[in-house]
Structure 1
Amino acid sequence: MSSPALIVPIDGRQSETALAVARGTARLLHAHGFSVVSELPLPSGRRADLVALDSAGTVWIVEIKSSIADYRADQKWPDYRAHCDRLFFATSLDVPCEIFPPDCGLIVADAFGAEFKCEAPEHKLPAATRKAMMLSFARAAALRLQSLIDPTGPYGEME
């Protein structure tokens, strides 16, 4: 007995390059023991491109930048530090690594995989923030899965 594959709908906000970088980065993070949720709303009201959580409760945020213009136009990334143990940028091979700040990690990716170019410094979350992030991550993942199983259910507005 086989079940049909669940297809996650694309919301249309990301470029093809950003989607490819997200996919490759998620594969890399998974290979390092992390589960990943994309476009996760944060308690600050911001929305993180990728949030990764490992079995020890370590929280990483990855901000995807698909071009130099994308990086220069969006300067809200410093706000993400308050919600993670490590902050990374992920980009494609076409974007020069030198434009990214040295106090963040860097991942270079395509649609099939990625590699760490620079590790991110660790800044441990306070326990209450870690708990809030883990609950947000778990609820978003569960609601998204349930909305795929039951597309006409009331799950989309609860994130």
Structure 2
Amino acid sequence: MKSLVENLEEVKDYRKGNAIDHKLIDILVIAVLETLCGCEGWKYIEQFGNAKKEWLKTFLELPNGIPSHDTFGRVFSNINPKEFHKTFIDWVNGIREFIDKDIVALDGKTLRRSHDKINEKKPIHVVSAWSNLNSLALGQIKVDEKSNEIIAIPELLKLLELKNCT
């Protein structure tokens, strides 16, 4: 199965000249990911991209940062929609191979009544992993008081050593 990036690299870049500040693959991947997260419109995609810039840099180059909303609009108005659609559908179909396998849901919760205002004890926050195939909690990890779920999730995933699941 090819990754989203590998699939979208097949979209032809129609831009010409030396005024190209952003890699096409960066623009396409950001737009797809942000849309999957619920962004509607180029301005929201730009804002979300700026908010997630450090994470995006872990797998995209972003030589000139996050593209502007105008850049997203220009690029998408000039790429071949059929070509983009085909690469996106190919990626989705590749993911479907894993649907028969287990889907593990990750969720953060605050435990009810775990706080004690009188003794200034803050509530306990945990992140859990749930196996849909087995209807079973695979693991749970407490979120450090001065941390958040984003830091706890990779720790939980390392403990579980998951393979062949979504």
Which TM-score band applies after superposition, normalised by the shorter structure? under 0.3
**Which has the larger helix fraction?**
2
Quick check: which one's strand share is greater?
A: 1
User: Normalising by the residue count of structure 1, what TM-score does the alignment of the two structures yield?
Assistant: 0.25
Greater gyration radius? 2
TM-score with structure 2 length normalisation?
Answer: 0.24
Between 1 and 2, higher relative CO (CA 8 Å, sep ≥ 6) is seen in 1
